[in-house]
């Protein structure tokens, strides 16, 4: 059996330039691991070596406030110096007023400022599997012509979307849909159901919220993926594995390369979000094989 897919250099998937970062997702991706800000990395780079005395812990805000009030009162209110108890009472009163001010300011800021991160959205409920006329893998394996894909359904994560056509950008990267609500079939790959690795890509999210492939990473081997085609037929794929690859180490041959049967690749962004780049550093790839 031959290979009907591309043989030249394969494009790399990029993300929307305004990708939305969800810390709740980051916590779910790497439980117990906190990803620090860039400035924190730089500040913590100088780790003390053996024999270096530990830095003294900074004073608490109560200590700072009390000391400040005591110094001001001793300078501007001389009568307090004659009574240590009065000086102590003034310091305590000043610290209390500072605490109240800090609390009110913090409440105001937290009320007026937008939330830093939206909570992780609820996983969508599964949807019924589509029904329709399927084509047996044996007949598809030798087919030279097949109808173009027009819709995609992944019942286990509640996905049902139309498919648009995707090509290659001038810089050699794979085009991505202009909206996060649909997925796209890469026209340089085989049509789903024919021999080769068919490629379907979609966004994970944007500034406005989750995208069509937000829950793609939660698929499991055995889940079904349905691709509808323009002639009314339907190709059914079964997930075999889910992988995450760093974009600078993307395994082009494994994802796009020739295979002897009919397979499907679903691709989106994922992993750590780099604020300085405004993009995720990895791609999530779902591998599936035609089973019906």
Domain segments of the chain as ranges: 21-29+60-120, 121-290
In the CATH scheme, what is the code of domain 121-290?
2.40.260.10
Which string of DSSP letters, residue by residue, matches 218-271?
G--TT-EEEEEETTSEEEEEEEEEEEEEEGGG--HHHHHS--SSEEEEEEEEEE
Q: For the chain, what is the mean pLDDT?
A: 74
Please state the rounded mean pLDDT for residues 248-275. 92
pLDDT for 267: 96
Asked if 152 contacts 163 with a C-beta cutoff of 8 angstroms, the reply is yes
- What is the sign, positive or negative, of the torsion defined by CA atoms of 86, 89, 94, 97? negative
pLDDT for 122: 82
Question: Which band of pLDDT confidence, cut at 50, 70 and 90, is reported for residue 134?
Answer: confident
Asked if 175 contacts 169 with a C-beta cutoff of 8 angstroms, the reply is yes
Question: Which band of pLDDT confidence, cut at 50, 70 and 90, is reported for residue 112?
Answer: very low
Question: Which band of pLDDT confidence, cut at 50, 70 and 90, is reported for residue 109?
Answer: very low
pLDDT for 95: 58
**100-109, 203-212, 271-280: the lowest-pLDDT one:** 100-109
pLDDT for 21: 41
Taking alpha carbons only, the member of 217, 211, 200, 215 closest to residue 255 is: 200
Q: Give, in order, the Cα–Cα distances in Å from 98 to each of 10, 29, 71, 94, 106.
A: 62, 40, 15, 6, 12
In this structure, what token pair is assigned to residue 233? 């037929």
Please tell me which residue, 107 or 199, carries the higher pLDDT value. 199
Alpha carbons 32 and 93: distance in angstroms, whole number: 41
Angle (CA) 126 245 285, round 5°: 30
Helix (H) or strand (E) segment spanning residue 134: strand 133-134
Q: pLDDT (tens digit, 9 = 90+) per residue, 26-78?
A: 444 444 444 333 333 333 333 344 444 444 555 666 666 666 666 666 666 66
In this structure, what token pair is assigned to residue 102? 């800090």
Alpha carbons 77 and 67: distance in angstroms, whole number: 15
């Amino acid at each position: 059996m031959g290979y009907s897919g591309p043989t030249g250099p394969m494009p790399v998937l990029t993300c929307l330039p305004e990708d939305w970062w969800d810390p709740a997702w980051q916590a779910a991706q790497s439980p117990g691991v906190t990803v620090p800000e860039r400035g924190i990395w730089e500040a913590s780079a100088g780790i003390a070596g053996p024999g270096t005395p530990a830095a003294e812990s900074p004073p608490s805000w109560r200590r700072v406030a009390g000391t400040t009030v005591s110094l001001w009162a001793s300078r501007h209110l001389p009568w307090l110096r004659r009574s240590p108890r009065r000086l102590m009472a003034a310091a305590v009163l000043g610290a209390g007023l500072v605490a109240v001010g800090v609390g009110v300011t913090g409440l105001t800021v937290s009320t007026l400022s937008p939330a830093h991160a939206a909570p992780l959205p609820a996983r969508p409920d599964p949807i019924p599997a589509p029904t329709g006329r399927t084509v047996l893998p044996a007949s598809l394996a030798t087919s030279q012509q097949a109808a173009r894909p027009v819709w995609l359904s992944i019942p286990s994560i509640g996905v049902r979307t139309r498919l648009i056509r995707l090509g290659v950008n001038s810089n050699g990267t794979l085009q991505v849909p202009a909206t996060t609500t649909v997925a796209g079939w890469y026209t340089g790959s085989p049509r789903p159901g024919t021999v080769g690795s068919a490629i379907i890509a979609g966004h994970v999210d944007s500034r406005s919220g989750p995208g069509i492939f937000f829950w793609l990473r939660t698929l499991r081997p055995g889940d079904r993926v349905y691709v509808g085609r323009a002639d009314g037929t339907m190709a059914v794929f079964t997930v075999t594995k889910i992988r995450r690859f760093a974009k600078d180490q993307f395994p082009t041959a494994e994802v796009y390369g020739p295979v002897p049967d009919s397979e499907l690749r679903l691709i989106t962004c994922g992993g750590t979000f780099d604020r300085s780049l405004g993009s995720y550093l990895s791609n999530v790839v779902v591998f599936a094989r035609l089973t019906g």
